[in-house]
């Protein structure tokens, strides 16, 4: 009888689906203090996790754990090598949040381009139209560099094209013909794309190869007056360098949904930088997005115990080969 622990609540439809599965028992842990986790993990065979770090300490008191389902696509806080050593598959909700995050990226772009924040402030202060009006502009005709051409980056590219933008794509893991076949231009090198783009939007995972990639060199290679959007992972961006680029005027603006340390609980250099729109890692948190992620995570849990796990959702596929 599989015992599943939910580390934080799920969408009601997803939780109901899991609880209705014959033979499954389900426990929800809202207070994820170490003491509560230790108690809950004594019996847990599978978990659905959102923000709780799955590290060596956590795994040390999880003797029955057989499967980890991430409620989302990022797994920075998961000790994947240790899971693999123990034969524990890590699944993500690979397709579930792509639409929500892509729309959020466009929202940040439009908020910046149309100067929504300033116009809202002016309107509330009875400053009408041309009084202290900021300069707004259209996305159409501008060039955007999409860094990362996966599920989310691909959607963002299509949305940008629908707004009449010239779409460049850089992804060293995607063949040039794939990008061109989708109707976009291919940036052979990151530097070439940065030099041409009016907007740069990040849609790649953060790992040992690219952590902190948006640094002084990256920002220095961007077109003067360009704008940066990051809805991917905060650890892609060196925040001090970005703040400096904004303050110097090298970059015109930035739109950020993710930060190096989350949740943000202490002063951040970007708080004092001009022309920054920030949201609290909320891009995927739409009603529909939460339902899709919840249902996907539950499907992985049920699929694991029924021997029908979708391999496309598994990060450490070596585990599957080892169990074949």
Residues recognised as catalytic: 233, 262, 281
Quick check: 206 and 230 in contact, CB under 8 A?
A: no
Helix (H) or strand (E) holding 14: helix 12-19
Say which residues have a Cβ less than 8 Å from residue 171's Cβ, sequence separation at least 6.
147, 148, 149, 150, 153, 179, 204
Q: Determine the distance from the C-alpha atom of residue 315 to the mean position of all C-alpha atoms in its chain, rounded to a whole number.
A: 16
Pairing mode of beta strands 46-49, 3-7: parallel
Q: 86 CB contacts (<8 Å, ≥6 apart)?
A: 59, 65
Residue 199, burial from CB neighbour count under 10 angstroms (0-12, 13-18, 19+)? buried
Q: Parallel, antiparallel, or unpaired for β 226-230 and 251-256? A: parallel
């Amino acid at each position: 009888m599989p015992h599943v622990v939910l580390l934080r609540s799920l969408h009601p439809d997803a939780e109901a689906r899991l609880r209705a599965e014959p033979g499954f028992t389900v426990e929800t842990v809202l207070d994820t203090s170490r003491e509560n986790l230790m108690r809950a993990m004594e019996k847990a065979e599978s978990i659905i996790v959102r923000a709780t770090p799955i590290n060596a300490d956590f795994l040390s008191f999880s003797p029955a754990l057989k499967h980890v389902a991430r409620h989302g696509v990022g797994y920075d806080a998961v000790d994947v090598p240790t899971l693999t050593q123990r034969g524990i598959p890590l699944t993500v909700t690979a397709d579930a949040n792509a639409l929500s995050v892509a729309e959020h990226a466009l929202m940040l772009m439009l908020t910046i381009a149309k100067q929504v924040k300033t116009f809202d402030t002016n309107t509330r202060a009875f400053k009408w139209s041309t009084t202290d009006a900021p300069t707004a502009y259209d996305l159409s005709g501008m060039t955007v560099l999409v860094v990362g051409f996966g599920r989310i980056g691909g959607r963002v590219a299509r949305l940008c094209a629908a707004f009449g933008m010239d779409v460049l794509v850089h992804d060293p893991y995607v063949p040039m013909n794939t990008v061109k076949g989708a109707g976009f231009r291919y940036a052979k090198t990151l530097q070439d794309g940065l030099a041409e783009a009016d907007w740069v939007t990040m849609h790649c995972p953060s790992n040992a190869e690219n952590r902190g990639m948006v640094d002084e060199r990256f920002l220095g290679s961007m077109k003067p007056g360009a704008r940066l959007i990051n809805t991917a992972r905060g650890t892609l961006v060196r925040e001090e360098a970005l703040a400096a680029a904004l303050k110097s005027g090298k970059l015109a603006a930035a739109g950020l949904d993710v930060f190096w340390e989350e949740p943000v609980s202490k002063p951040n250099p970007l708080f004092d930088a001009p022309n920054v729109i920030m949201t609290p890692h909320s891009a995927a948190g739409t009603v529909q997005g939460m339902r899709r992620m919840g249902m996907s995570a539950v499907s992985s849990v049920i699929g694991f115990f029924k021997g029908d796990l979708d391999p496309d959702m598994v990060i450490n596929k070596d585990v599957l080969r080892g169990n074949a």
